[in-house]
Amino acid sequence: MKNPADFVAAVGRALEALQPPGTLLLAVSGGADSVALADAVARARSRRALRDIQLVVGHVDHRLRSDSARDEAISRRHAERLGLAFVSRAIRVRTAGSGLEQAAREARYDALARMAGETGCAGIATGHTATDQAETLLWRLVRGTGTRGLGGMRPVRELGVLELFRPLLGVTREQTRAWCERSGLEFRDDPTNLDDRPRAVLRREVLPVLERLQPGAVLRLAAAADRLREDDAALEMLAGGADDRVEALKSLPASVKKRALAQILEQTVGTRRRVTAAHLESLERLLWSGRGEVDLPSAAGRRAVARVDGGRLVVRTIERAMPGKGRRAAARRPSHARE
């Protein structure tokens, strides 16, 4: 973006395309990405479609560093500069080690949702960039994820009763930093970018090499994630037309069959996030053998099993035995199963 105004225009167009609600909480950490987000979105309200949008700046203090209060101070000053309301919440992340990043993310989203509710905001905007998207795609790729995971972060996703918006997925981290420096905006670098966590190493060492080998690699990776999301959506739509008849399921292409099985589980036991490739492979073997049962993840306090019955795949949930009581089974036929 040679013209500085192009950055604000790009963010404005992206946010407009996402059709945000009339009240939006801007998640600002004090880093360059989120500071650029708040500044660009506030400026982009000159666009007709965004003119009436109401903005609030929200900051989450993870208390993971002794000087985290400086991040809050930076975020507060930007809210004051932009004439926006400011709200902050301190949280405590108890998980350590390899699970720290995931635990912090979940706690942060929970805190943002609470602040949005307190301030009457119907949506939340975060500063995730194309660089974050590229990191996500590469990290999931080396971990062996499928098409669904390779789609990376969605530009819009549900967060409870709220919606989470990511209007910066079309710009890189270098561009947000350049905008801050060009505009004289105060920001702070996150020291965790220098640690030895896999994502930090990927960010610091791998992506720069890819950019040197192939300039524009970050944006191309982010664009690839967009295309993979489109492919995944098409496969999901095809899988949605399948039913629980064994012969019909067996005749589906492999990629559609796995999605159809995952959808059946989502409809019957209410979960999909905990369904692994191993679960789906066991279900496929069950379709071909027609014998035995497959244990599956289900809601808390229950277990789920699948079996073939009358030429159909039947999934039922069973209450786990309570201490001191006899075991009670509560089997149910899937709501989508045809009699």
Report the CATH fold assignment for 242-319.
Answer: 3.30.465
Give residue 77's pLDDT.
Answer: 97
Which three-class secondary structure string do you get for the chain? CCCHHHHHHHHHHHHHHHCCCCEEEEECCCCHHHHHHHHHHHHHCCCHHHCCCEEEEEEEECCCCCCCHHHHHHHHHHHHHHCCEEEEEECCCCCCHHHHHHHHHHHHHHHHHHHHHHHCCCEEECCCCHHHHHHHHHHHHHCCCCHHHHCCCCCEEEECCEEEECCCCCCCHHHHHHHHHHHCCCCCCCHHHHCCCHHHHHHHHHHHHHHHHCCCHHHHHHHHHHHHHHHHHHHHHHHCCCCCEHHHHHCCCHHHHHHHHHHHHHHHHCCCCCCCHHHHHHHHHHHHHCCCCEEECCCCCEEEEEEEECCEEEEEEEECCCCCCCCCCCCCCCCCCCC
> Please, where in the chain does CATH 3.40.50.620 lie?
4-225
Give residue 198's pLDDT.
Answer: 82
**pTM for this predicted structure:** 0.84
Give residue 332's pLDDT.
Answer: 40
Give residue 267's pLDDT.
Answer: 81
> Please, where in the chain does CATH 3.30.465 lie?
242-319
Residue 308 corresponds to which tokens in the numbers above? 């073939």
Give residue 142's pLDDT.
Answer: 92
Q: Give the bridge partners for 313, in sequence order.
A: 308
Give residue 275's pLDDT.
Answer: 79
Report the CATH fold assignment for 4-225.
Answer: Rossmann fold (3.40.50)
Mean pLDDT by 10 residues, the chain (339 residues): 78 95 96 97 92 95 81 96 96 68 86 96 97 95 89 94 96 95 92 74 93 96 96 92 90 92 82 79 93 80 84 83 48 40
As a whole number of angstroms, the distance between CA 206 and CA 69 comes to: 31
Give residue 122's pLDDT.
Answer: 95
